[in-house]
């Protein structure tokens, strides 16, 4: 065990010891083994990710999906708001739903003609498949008459940095790279989304993320996992590294899909989100093993 690993274990145990003071349930006898197991998992996952994914092009963040504890990270300026592209889409869906009794329109994506990234188009899409395929045409339609003000309640409810007051339409779905959000805030917003997965809006978003891993932009994550499914959302945004590339790819994955135990967020320099999913898949497979 390296010095870093030891510190992490103690941080985790410390968080557990302090938990009752924070109003959480007092651990029952026997829970120690669970805590010890979780600490071991966190320690080995952290070591493994640091050892095997050393490329400076890869940033990552691993959270315990149940407690929200930060298990491992290598991400400079985790707090600094940056463009995160389509990672915002599930929260757009929730904001729209709040204002429309959670009734979502159907839509036909004609590809380039409708401003979608997929030239041939996605054809008929509903809210879940629009999230699964990250269909820009669907979300352009959904946000056609939305402004920053429509997003404020959802942003507040999920702990996301609020958009500048002058954004509207495509700016809101990440197309113009104008809504800046801290990567850590975004990761935690996905944990909250998962906590609400039985509620209207969140239910559709989670269904879309399951589709993403099965046949959408997160397919490479789904393919990599042998023993469990995942909830995935990908995104592509303007690069914020010093050695600028056309864009950076982002992935948020919650595993296992039915009852997530951890959340992995990955950024890969210079590739689109669907390609970053290959890296996220490799990481998750190693953690799974």
- The footprint of Zn ion (CB under 5 A) covers 109, 116, 122, 135, 137
CB of 167 to Zn ion, least distance (A): 21
Rounded to whole angstroms, the Cα distance separating 53 from 93 reads 33
| Closer Cβ to Zn ion, 17 or 113, answer by number | 113
Q: Distance (Å, rounded) from C-alpha 278 to C-alpha 65?
A: 22
Q: How far apart are CA 213 and CA 232, in angstroms?
A: 6
Residue 215: CB partners within 8 Å, gap ≥ 6? 132, 222
In contact, 211 and 126? CB cutoff 8 Å: no
Compare residues 116 and 202 and give the one whose CB is closer to Zn ion. 116
Tell me whether residue 4 or residue 108 sits nearer to Zn ion (CB atom). 108
The encoded tokens of residue 280 equal: 């996220």
Residue with smaller CB distance to Zn ion, 122 or 269: 122
Nearest to 61 by CA among 52, 233, 50: 50
Q: What are phi and psi of 263, to 5 degrees?
A: -120, 130
Is 135 or 224 the residue whose CB approaches Zn ion more closely?
135
- Please give the helix or strand (H or E) that residue 163 lies within, else none: none
H or E element: which one contains 93?
Answer: helix 89-99
Q: Which lies closer to Zn ion via its Cβ, residue 125 or residue 225? A: 125
Q: How far is the CB of 96 from Zn ion (least distance, A)?
A: 17
Give DSSP secondary structure letters for 249-281.
EEEEEEESSSS--EEEEEEEETS-HHHHHHHHH
């Amino acid at each position: 065990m390296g010095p870093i690993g030891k510190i992490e274990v103690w941080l985790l145990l410390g968080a557990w010891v302090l938990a009752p003071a924070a109003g959480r349930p007092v651990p029952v006898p026997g829970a120690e083994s669970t805590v010890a197991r979780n600490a071991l998992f966190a320690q080995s996952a952290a070591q493994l990710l640091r050892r095997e994914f050393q490329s400076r092009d890869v940033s990552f963040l691993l959270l315990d999906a149940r407690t929200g504890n930060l298990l491992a990270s290598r991400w400079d300026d985790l707090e600094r708001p940056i463009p995160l592209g389509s990672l915002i889409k599930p929260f757009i869906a929730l904001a729209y739903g709040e204002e429309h009794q959670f009734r979502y329109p159907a839509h036909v994506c004609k590809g380039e003609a409708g401003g979608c990234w997929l030239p041939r188009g996605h054809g008929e899409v509903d809210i879940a498949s629009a999230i699964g395929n990250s269909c820009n045409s669907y979300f352009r339609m959904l946000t056609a008459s939305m402004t920053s003000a429509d997003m404020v309640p959802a942003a507040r409810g999920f702990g996301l940095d609020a958009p500048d007051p002058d954004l509207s339409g495509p700016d809101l779905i990440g197309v113009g790279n104008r809504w800046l959000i801290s990567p850590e805030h975004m990761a935690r917003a996905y944990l909250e989304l998962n906590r609400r997965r039985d509620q209207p809006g969140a239910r559709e978003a989670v269904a879309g993320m399951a589709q993403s891993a099965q046949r959408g932009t997160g397919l490479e994550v789904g393919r990599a996992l042998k023993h469990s499914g995942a909830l995935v959302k990908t995104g592509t945004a303007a690069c914020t590294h010093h050695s600028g590339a056309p864009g950076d790819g982002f992935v948020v994955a919650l595993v296992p899909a039915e009852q997530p135990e951890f959340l992995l967020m990955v950024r890969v320099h210079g590739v689109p989100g669907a390609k970053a999913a290959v890296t996220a898949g490799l990481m998750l497979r190693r953690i799974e093993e």
